[in-house]
Structure formats: structure tokens, C-alpha cells
Amino acid sequence: MRIAIASDHAAIDLKAELRDWLIEQGHEVADLGPETTDSVDYPDFGYKLASVVADGTAERGVALCGSGIGISMSVNRNPAVRCALVSEPLSASLAREHNDANCIAMGARLTGSDMAKACLAAFLDTEFAGGRHQRRVDKLSNPEI
């Protein structure tokens, strides 16, 4: 699977660890930055991540910041992207199954690396259920429906 990953300065270490883990799992990973712990603005990286998921360059996205809140808000500004803030595997799985989430966000200050890997595995291993959920997911991208 093609996966894009981005963070802010607070989550650079978790981003590197998850990037390497995803590559070990056989995924193609695009690291969208940042490269250093110098202070950056999370919206810039959230928008970049949303763009590559929306245009199909990446099938899934992983957004990381200190809490996961700010970067998830910026990713969700793109109507083609559904980013779920998760902190444990059940939420990650349900985000895919019920909401067809194509991105997840996590907080590096709140979620340890083992839990982040478990969330990411659940997210990637779960398929969208469709059916009764499809109508609702369609409304996320087009409120006029």
C-alpha cells in the first residue's frame, strides 16, 4: 500500500519510527516531513498530507503532532479526506470500517510507539464495510446530499 506520513516537530521521532516500521511491513512510504525538530506549523504538513491522499498519490495517510488534534483538523479541511484521531486500535479499526477513514492522526505526546503501531496495524488491516455506512460517508464530502 502507498502510505504518506507527515508530522510537526513534536512528533518527528514517532514519525521516523512508524515510517521505518511501515517499510518493514512492505508498504511504500512517502515521508512528507519535516526533517528536523526545528519548530514548524502543523497545518502546513497536514495540508500537504491531505493533498497527496486526495489526489490518489497515497492510498492512506498518517498525521502526527504533539496531541494529534491540530494536524487532524488541518487534514480534515480537504473534503476528499477523512482523518480520524485515534489513541487505541478499536477506534482505528472502526474509523475504517464505519467511516472509510483514509487518514489517521495520533499524538506523539499521548500515544507510545507500540500503541501507535497497533493503531496503525488495525487501521491498515480493516476494510470499509460499505452498506448502510456509505450514505453517511458520502455526506462527509458533500453535505448537500
Q: Residues 21-77: pLDDT tens digits?
A: 999 999 999 999 999 999 999 999 999 999 999 999 999 999 999 999 999 999 999
Q: How many angstroms separate the CA atoms of 2 and 140, rounded? A: 23
HSE at residue 88, side-chain half, CA atoms within 13 A, is 1
Q: Write down the catalytic residue from 9, 27, 98, 133.
A: 98
Give catalytic status of residue 83 as yes or no: no
Residue 54 belongs to domain with CATH number: 3.40.1400.10
Band of the pLDDT at 108, cuts 50, 70, 90? very high
User: Looking at residue 2, what is its pLDDT?
Assistant: 98
pLDDT score for 130: 84
Query: Which residue stretches of 8-142 are H helix?
Result: 12-24, 42-54, 69-75, 89-99, 113-125, 132-141
CB-CB contact of 64 with 7 (8 Å): yes
**Is the predicted pLDDT of residue 111 greater than 90, yes or no?**
yes
Does residue 114 register a pLDDT over 80? yes
Catalytic residue chosen out of the listed positions 65, 83, 103, 119: 65
Q: How confident is the model at residue 136 (pLDDT cuts 50, 70, 90)?
A: confident
Q: Which domain holds residue 90?
A: 2-141
- pTM, entire model: 0.95
Residue 65 annotated to the active site: yes
Instruction: Identify the bridge partners of residue 143 per DSSP, sorted by sequence position.
Output: none
Is pLDDT at 117 greater than 80 in this prediction? yes
Give the chain's domain count: 1
Q: How many CB atoms lie within 10 A of CB 59?
A: 15
In this prediction, residue 84 has a pLDDT band, given cuts at 50, 70 and 90, of very high
Q: Give the whole-angstrom CA distance, residue 32 versus residue 89.
A: 24
What is the mean pLDDT of the segment spanning 109-134?
Answer: 95
